[in-house]
Amino acid sequence: MTKLNQIVNFLAIDLGATSGRMMVAGWDGEGFKLEELHRFPNGPVELDGHLHWEVFRLWHEIKLGLARYATSYGLPLAGIGVDSWAVDFVLLDKAGSLLELPYHYRDNRTEGLQAQVFKRLSRNQLFAATGIQFLPFNTLYQLYAMRPSSGSSTLAQADSLLMIPDLFHFWLSGRKVTEYTNATTTQFFHAKEGRWATELLAALELPTRMLSPIVPPGTFLGELRSEIQRETGLNQPVPIIAPATHDTASAVAAIPGLDERSAYISSGTWSLVGLEIAQPLITPATLALNFTNEGGVNGTIRLLKNVAGLWLLQECQRQWAQVGQNYSWDELARAAQQAPAFRSLVDPDAAEFLNPANMIMALQQYCRRTAQPIPETVGQLTRCCLESLALNYRTVVESLAALTGRKLEVIRVVGGGSQNELLCQFTANACGREVVAGPVEATALGNVLLQALATGHLADLATGRQAIASSIRLKSFMPGETKEWAEAFDRFCQLETA
C-alpha cells in the first residue's frame, strides 16, 4: 500500500438497535483513522400496542450528522454507506412514500406464526431453499403477519419493500435496491441460486411484486441527492455506496486474521458466532442445529448462529438505572468478579429472555424453575449473564467445528462486546481457546472498507483487513481454569434441555 499525499474521508452510517453512529474514516493509503461525527439513541416506540422503529427521527439525525460534517471538515466525502441490523423492513407506495412505520423485530405480532407457516411450507423446504436459521422474527414471518386474511391492507398497497439500510440509501440517492447481505437474512432468498425465492412467498399467498433488485456489497448507487446537498451544506456530489448493509457482514469483513482456524463472535446486543466459508452449508446437521447461511463479502458465506448477547445484561442495567442505580460496564465487571463463580446459570437463548417486561425477574424465575440459587445482587446477576453467555458460545463453537471439520484454535471477538474484558476472559476459559479482541468499531470499519474497495482506494479484501490490523490494537486472552469451566459446561448443557 502506498501512502497518499492527502487523506480521503469516507462516512459510515452505522445504525444499531440501541444507538446510531456516524463515523468518519480517514484513509491515508496505509490505514484508517476513525472519528465519531455524530451519535444518537435508537430504540422502539410503542404505538397501539405494537413496537415500531422511528425511521423519520433516524433520518433527521442522519441529516444533522451530514450538516455537522459540512461545518467541521474541509475535505469532500469520497463515499457514504449505511448499515444496520437485519430482518426489519419498510413498505413504500408507488410514490415512494412510507405506508407505515416499520415494525421492530421484538414486536409480538409474529408469535405463533412459524407453526402456521410450517403447515404450508415445512422446515425442510424452507431450509433447503434459504439455509437460514429459524427465528420467530425473520422477515418471512413478519410479512406473513401482514397477509390480507390478518386484516391488514398494507401489503395490497405496497409497491416496494426495502430493508432498513436500503430505505436510507433510497432517501440519500433516490435508488431502490436491496443489498445482498441483508437480503439473505429474510428467509425468502435462495441461498444457492442467489435470487429471491419468490416460490416461497407465493406458497404463502404473499405478493412478490414489491421485491427490489438485489445488488452486491460495494455497489455505487448514485450521488447524494441535490436537495440533501443543499439542506446539509455539503454542496458537492458525494457517492452513495451500498456496503455490506447487514451490520454483521460489515463487521466480519473487518476482522483481521480471519482464517480457517478462526471462529468469530460479533458481540453486542446480539452475538453472532460463526465462520467464513466459501459455499452455503445446507445439510440435515446444519438444520438440526439451527445454524444459518448468510451472505458475506466477496461471495463468501457467514455460517453462524444468532444467539443472545449482551441484551440480558443491558436490560438489567436499564432496570437498575430506572431506580437510580446507574452502573458502568466497569462497575458491573468489578461486582461480577467479587461474586461466587458458577452459582447460577441460564440458557441465554431461552424464550423467556427474548423481550420480558422485567429481565431481572425473568432471570430469577428461570433459576427458580431449574432449582438453582436465585441471583439477587448486582454482582450475582452480572456474573450469571456473562458466564452463561461464555458457556453458550462454547456450544456454538464446538458445533461449528463438528459441522465443518475445522480445527478452530482462535476466537476473534469484534464489536462493542470486545471491550468487555471479563466476558472475553470467560469466553477463552469456557471455550478453551485463545480469544483475540478487536476491533471495537468493526462494523464501521467494514462499512468504509467496502466503500474504499468500490472507489478503488483498496485493491482487495485481504489488503483491507491488513490495513485495519495496522490501524488498531488487538488484545489476546488465553484460557485458564479449565477444570472448573468444564464442570460448569456440563451443568449448562443440562439447562439447555430444561
Confidence of residue 471 (pLDDT cuts 50, 70, 90): very high
Q: What is the pLDDT of residue 3?
A: 58
pLDDT for position 5: 59
Cell 455524530, located at residue: 38
Q: Give the dihedral sign, CA 32/33/38/40.
A: positive
Rounded Cα distance, 335 and 323, in Å: 18
Q: Percent of the chain at pLDDT above 90?
A: 94
Residue 148: predicted pLDDT = 80
Q: Is the pLDDT of residue 19 over 90?
A: yes
Question: What is the per-residue pLDDT across 325-337, written as a single tens digit (0 to 9) for each?
Answer: 999 999 999 999 9
Global pTM reads: 0.92
Give the 3-state secondary structure of residue 171. Answer: helix
Domain with CATH 3.30.420.40 in the chain: 8-242, 255-438+459-498
Write out the catalytic residue numbers. 247
pLDDT at position 118, please? 97
Mean pLDDT for the chain? 96
Kindly provide the b/e burial profile for residues 203-234, where b requires at least 16 CB atoms within 10 angstroms of the residue's own CB.
ebebbeebbbebbbbbbbbebbbeebbeebeb
Q: What is the pLDDT of residues 91-135, one digit of tens each?
A: 999 999 999 999 999 999 999 999 999 999 999 999 999 999 999
User: CATH fold of 8-242, please?
Assistant: Nucleotidyltransferase; domain 5 (3.30.420)
> Stretch 313-339: mean pLDDT, rounded?
97
Asked if pLDDT for residue 2 goes beyond 80, the answer is: no
Question: For the segment 151-197, what is each residue's pLDDT rounded down to a tens digit?
Answer: 788 999 999 999 999 999 999 999 999 999 999 999 999 999 999 99
Taking only the tens place, the pLDDT of each residue in 48-91 is 999 999 999 999 999 999 999 999 998 999 999 999 999 999 99
pLDDT in tens, 394-444: 999 999 999 999 999 999 999 999 999 999 999 999 999 999 999 999 999
Grid cell listed for 141: 414471518
How far, in Å, are 84, 297, 306, 376 from residue 303 at the CA level? 19, 13, 10, 37
Rounded-to-integer distance, Cα 412 and Cα 255, Å? 8
Locus of grid cell 468478579: 337
Distance CA 338, CA 333 (A): 9
Q: Report the pLDDT value the prediction gives residue 457, as an integer from 0 to 100.
A: 96
The pLDDT confidence band at residue 150, using thresholds 50, 70 and 90, is: confident
CATH topology of domain 255-438+459-498: Nucleotidyltransferase; domain 5 (3.30.420)
pLDDT at 302: 97
Say whether pLDDT at 146 is over 80: yes
